Amino acid sequence: MNYTNILGASVSMLLASSAIAAESSSDLVVKGSITPGAACSLAVPASLNLGTIHRDELNPDPSKPTELEQQEVDIQVTCPEPRRFAFVVREAGGQDASNAQIFPIHSNQGEQQVGDLYLKFISHATLIDGSTKGYATAADRENDLGQATWGPSTPHTENLPIRNGLFAVGFVTHANSTEAPGNIDALVARVMVKPWIKPAKDLDFTAEIGFSSDLGLEISYF
């Protein structure tokens, strides 16, 4: 697996499970580095457990997908000195051409896409520098963020959808703001993960189906 390292830190969130009978779990594998530019540390202190998924637990209508239990993942960023940064989230297998908000779940036995993940930053759970309420805001690009157009940031009651490899997401201290993110010492954020399994008619049940989604969470400084 390759992890893109943008000026300092990246995290791999490896989601793995099985669509039939076998017990399954998902681990978040944390990777990071410190560079001479006082890079921030990035941690995901959690694991995702999708449980055991049996064929008879899939949607009884074989033409419709199955929604699995929603999960939440906490993210913490700590900087040795205040930094301006934003996140870009990518799935290692690439984008789904039909929808930029889809993070594909791939079969371990081949190239088949057996499901989708949808991710959102949860607004009410975001804290900047320990006590200041934070609001997610998206740039109009994924790089050259100093020249980007930002926002408006989310209201307190709305969550910001994450797009696979498109648009950086930062955090500001006011709702509906069009300002760029400022310098931050510490950030606590939470991501909602909504997994879906493809319709049963699109799956091959001749053997157990193992699947995974390798998500890279990158920090970009500007």
Tokens of 210: 């193992």
- Bridge partners (DSSP) listed for residue 192: 72, 120
pLDDT in tens, 161-219: 999 988 999 999 999 999 999 999 999 999 999 999 999 999 888 888 888 888 888 89
Q: What's the pLDDT score for residue 14?
A: 55
Q: What's the pLDDT score for residue 12?
A: 47
Is 81 part of any domain?
yes
* Closest alpha carbon to 126 in 170, 63, 189, 186: 189
Is 1 part of any domain?
no
Question: What range defines the domain where residue 129 resides?
Answer: 10-221
- Answer yes or no: is pLDDT of 25 > 90: no
pLDDT in tens, 65-78: 999 989 899 999 99
The per-residue pLDDT of the chain, averaged, comes to 82
Give the number of other Cβ atoms within 10 Å of residue 26's Cβ: 21
Question: Scanning the structure block, which residue is given the tokens 């690009």?
Answer: 141
Is 5 part of any domain?
no
* Closest alpha carbon to 143 in 170, 161, 180, 168: 168
Is 79 part of any domain?
yes
pLDDT higher at 156 or 192? 192
Q: What's the pLDDT score for residue 17?
A: 53
Is 113 part of any domain?
yes
Q: What's the pLDDT score for residue 45?
A: 52
Q: What's the pLDDT score for residue 182?
A: 96
| CA dist., res. 218 & res. 7, Å (int) | 9
Q: What's the pLDDT score for residue 211?
A: 82
Is 95 part of any domain?
yes
| CA dist., res. 41 & res. 62, Å (int) | 44
DSSP 8-state secondary structure symbol assigned to residue 67: E
Give the number of other Cβ atoms within 10 Å of residue 100's Cβ: 15
Is 83 part of any domain?
yes
Is 4 part of any domain?
no
Domain tally for the chain? 1
Prior bond of 152 cis (ω within 30°): yes
> Taking the CA of residue 210 as centre, how many other CA atoms within 13 Å lie in the half-sphere pointing to its CB?
9
- Answer yes or no: is pLDDT of 108 > 60: yes
Residues in the chain: 222
DSSP 8-state secondary structure symbol assigned to residue 139: B
